[in-house]
Amino acid sequence: MIKVLLISIGNELLNGKTINTNATFLGKKLTKLGFKIEKILTLPDDGSIVSSEIFQATSTSDFNIILITGGLGPTWDDSTSLFLANAFSIETTLNSRALEIVKRRYQELFENQLVISPELNPARKKMAILPVGADPIENPVGTAPGIFYNHRSSNTLIYCLPGVPREMKEMYNIIESSLIMLIDNSNTGYYELEYVTSFSDESLLAPYLEKVQKKYDVWIKSLPETYQEKKNIKLVISKLSDSKDNAAKNVKAAKEYLLKITSSE
């Protein structure tokens, strides 16, 4: 089982100015691939806090992957690269590959008349400063490269993606193939299904769900609406197992058993 920590960085997420859609997107994507999301953290633009959380996460070896969003841009508060380096007491450096990505992207933006100059000022060069030993990740729609860092002493893979949702999604598409390879080599599989029950009262459904969960060791989430809307309750039944086939077998059997024991209701 490959365990994941998602970290979202940004004061705007904590004060409610911005909805954290990145964590939702990544949680759904990674779960369906077969990863286990162990924890999601939302942190401020504070170096001591972010570095401490990264250090603690790797020192406990509780996570195989840490995926961080936010803090890669040109402004003063975009300091994820520095926070990552400080977590492991390593230096940062102007990464030549990252610099080439930034240079190329600003040239493209200039040619499309989206910026007035392609010149690399200090703020733009800042986005190419990475921890020593890190590799840049292409950004096909924005200007800030992502960061990949393999923390070998804890065997933790760390990915840093932009906080802008469109950029984050495009860059996730770039790294997804490498993530799928990890799952393919891990003997892990995930399966889920949704269906609408005949129940509109969750308190009456609850005892049946407990029986099914104990019998098949699946995760069952009921998704009730308010009573006034008079809608039947939807369920999500899911399983993380040693293969997708075994997970699917368990989930389907759980659904059939639930239908059987509730057939008289």
Query: Is the same domain home to 28 and 121?
Result: yes
Q: Which two tokens stand for residue 238?
A: 């899911």
Residue 210's CATH number? 3.30.70.1120
d(CA 239, CA 245): 11
Query: Which residue is listed with tokens 């906080």?
Result: 163
Query: Is the same domain home to 131 and 250?
Result: no
pLDDT tens, residue order, the chain (265 aa):
899 999 999 999 999 999 999 999 999 999 999 999 999 999 999 999 999 999 999 998 789 999 999 999 999 889 999 999 999 999 999 999 999 999 999 999 999 999 999 999 999 999 999 999 999 999 999 999 999 999 998 999 999 999 999 999 999 999 999 999 998 888 788 999 998 998 888 999 999 999 999 999 999 999 887 765 667 889 999 999 888 889 999 999 999 999 999 886 5
pLDDT at 141 (0 to 100): 92
d(CA 167, CA 172): 8
DSSP state for residue 231 in the 8-state scheme: P
Query: Is the same domain home to 149 and 245?
Result: no
Residue 45, phi then psi, degrees to nearest 5: -80, 65
C-alpha separations of 172 from 30, 58, 61, 69 in Å: 10, 22, 24, 11
Contact predicate 254/246, CB 8 Å: no
What's the domain count of the chain?
2
Q: Which of 64, 41, 88, 35 is nearest to 158 (CA)?
A: 64
Choose the final residue of a domain: 123, 149, 184.
184
Q: What is the largest CA-CA distance in the chain?
A: 72
d(CA 194, CA 223): 10
Three-state SS for 262?
Answer: coil
Query: Is the same domain home to 156 and 227?
Result: no
Query: Is the same domain home to 206 and 235?
Result: yes
Tell me the residue range of the domain where 166 lies. 3-184
Burial of 190 (0-12, 13-18, 19+ CB in 10 A): buried
Digit-coded pLDDT (tens) for 170-210: 999 999 999 999 988 887 889 999 989 988 889 999 999 99
Residue 174's CATH number? 3.40.980.10
Choose the final residue of a domain: 184, 214, 229.
184
Query: Is the same domain home to 196 and 128?
Result: no
Choose the final residue of a domain: 184, 215, 243.
184
Query: Is the same domain home to 14 and 143?
Result: yes
